[in-house]
Amino acid sequence: MGVNFNLSFNHLPTELQVAIFSLLPEKDLGMAALVSKPWKQLAEDPFLWKKLFCRRWSNLTQIKTSRFGWKKIYKKSMFLESRAPLFLLNIFIIRCISFL
């Protein structure tokens, strides 16, 4: 009776899969979402996008939740950051999210 070491990523518990995906940057999450439907579901997990948001904008970690979803907030924040000076962006994000 030997141990089977031929288990794939898909055989891991969902919590462990999400934890592994949480280590990926945004670009790699996007690529992982293209692999299969189960991986797309993992890559859409709100926990992952909240973690990405908090990693990038650590000064805004007081944000608790959003009815629009963390992925949408992350992508909108990236868009705004590319278009506005950082100090204005932080003020804008705080004001916008306080209304969510």
Q: What is the pLDDT of residue 54?
A: 81
User: So what's the pLDDT on residue 48?
Assistant: 87
Phi, psi of 8 (to 5 degrees): -100, 175
What is the domain partition of the chain in residue ranges?
12-99
Q: What is the pTM of this model?
A: 0.62
Q: Which fold has domain 12-99?
A: Monooxygenase (1.20.1280)
Per-residue buried b or exposed e for 8-39, using 16+ beta carbons within 10 Å of the residue's own CB: eeeeeeeeebbeebbeeebeebeebbeeeeeb
Per-residue pLDDT of the chain (100 residues; tens, 9 = 90+): 566 666 788 889 999 999 999 999 888 998 999 999 999 999 999 888 888 888 887 766 566 666 678 888 888 878 777 776 665 666 667 767 665 5
Q: Which DSSP helix (H) or strand (E) runs through 52? A: helix 46-56
